[in-house]
Amino acid sequence: MERKILVIEDEQNINDILSFQLSKEGYTTISALDGVSGLEMALTQNPDLILLDVMLPGLDGYEVCKKIREQSNVPIIMLTAREDEVDKVLGLELGADDYMTKPYSNRELTARIKANLRRSAVEPAPAAAPAESDANSVIISGDLTINTERYEVLKNDKVVDITLREFELLKFLAMQPDKIFSREKLLENVWGYEYYGDVRTVDVTVRRLREKIEDDPSMPKYIITKRGVGYYFNK
Ligand code: CA
């Protein structure tokens, strides 16, 4: 089945080149040249992944990303032109899954797309048969229940609204409690590719996760920072 990628980029040239490269790789592409129509296509055309430029006329990429996230967990790769845009993408906690700074190589672009599609291909198990959930697939720690088969996290028996990437990170740490992982190791294992860029992505995802699962995100009980080393799950 062909995967559909939505390219939201206002520069016609870049949009054309991206779409051409992606179709050569075997993807179906649809494209938008501004934020408003991009947002509409994102919500109505069911893309499997979105490439989203930051600087767009009208509704910019930050806003588009936020609005998509209100309704969808589709993987979003932000396309940034400058370092300060990267800072903003990371700092605003838009819920983007990844970002790339222009100019990027074809090879890197393809690798990122594949990695993000692979992550999203693992859908939650259908809700039909909860009784069949294997006990091994459930991790319980304090008031947290992590169901690795159903891609579900409960805190005090309430479902936590969590993105796939946040879930993958939590699952990875929780399956090996007390083991400390460097941010580079986490990028490799959770993000799924050799990462040239920036370990801040991990910090941001940890911060978002803490806001969702910790009673007091500034005094975390589950995801603990080992200063100068990395993070671990405290079971
Ligand atoms: Ca632009």
Residue 98's φ and ψ, nearest 5 degrees, are -165, 170
Half-sphere exposure of 58 (CA within 13 A, CB side): 13
CA of 65 to the centre of ligand 1 (A): 14
Query: How far apart are the CA of 54 and the centre of ligand 1, in A?
Result: 6
The Å distance, Cα 56 to ligand 1 centre, comes to: 5
Q: How far is the CA of 205 from the centre of ligand 1 (A)?
A: 26
Give the pLDDT confidence score for residue 18 in this predicted structure: 92
Task: Tell me how far apart the alpha carbons of residues 49 and 57 are, in angstroms, rounded to a whole number.
Answer: 21
Q: How far is the CA of 66 from the centre of ligand 1 (A)?
A: 17
Residues constituting the chain: 235
Ligand 1 centroid from CA 148, angstroms: 38
pLDDT at 76 (0 to 100): 92
Tell me the angle at which helices 61-71 and 35-44 cross, rounded to the nearest 10 degrees: 20
Q: What is the pLDDT of residue 32?
A: 97
Q: What is the per-residue pLDDT for 128?
A: 43
pLDDT at 131: 46
* Amino acid 197: pLDDT: 57
* pLDDT reported for residue 129: 43
pTM of the model: 0.63
Whole-number Å distance, alpha carbon 8 to ligand 1 midpoint, is 9
Predicted confidence at residue 194, as pLDDT, reads: 55
Q: Report the separation in Å between the CA atom of 55 and the middle of ligand 1, taken as the mean of its atom positions.
A: 4
pLDDT of residue 10: 95
How far apart are the CA of 99 and the centre of ligand 1, in A?
A: 14
Q: How far is the CA of 57 from the centre of ligand 1 (A)?
A: 8
Distance 190 CA to ligand 1 centre (A): 29
Q: C-alpha angle 220/214/76, rounded to 5°?
A: 105
- Indicate the CATH number of 4-119 among 3.40.50.1860, 3.40.190.10, 1.10.3720.10, 3.40.50.2300: 3.40.50.2300
CATH architecture entry for 132-233 = Orthogonal Bundle (1.10)
CA–centroid distance, residue 103 to ligand 1 (Å): 13
Three-class SS string for the chain? CCCEEEEECCCHHHHHHHHHHHHHCCCEEEEECCHHHHHHHHHHCCCCEEEEECCCCCCCHHHHHHHHHHHCCCCEEEEECCHHHHHHHHHHCCCCCEEEECCCCHHHHHHHHHHHHHHHHCCCCCCCCHHHCCHHHEEEECCEEEECCCCEEEECCEECCCCHHHHHHHHHHHCCCCCCECHHHHHHHHHCCCCCCCCHHHHHHHHHHHHHHCCCCCCCCCEEEECCCEEEECC
Domain locations in the chain as residue ranges? 4-119, 132-233
Q: What is the pLDDT along the chain (235 residues), one digit of tens a residue?
A: 789 999 999 999 999 999 999 999 999 999 999 999 999 999 999 999 999 999 998 899 999 999 998 888 899 999 988 877 877 777 677 778 888 887 778 888 888 888 888 766 654 444 444 444 466 789 999 999 999 888 899 999 999 988 888 899 999 999 999 999 999 899 888 877 555 557 788 888 899 899 999 999 999 999 999 998 999 999 8
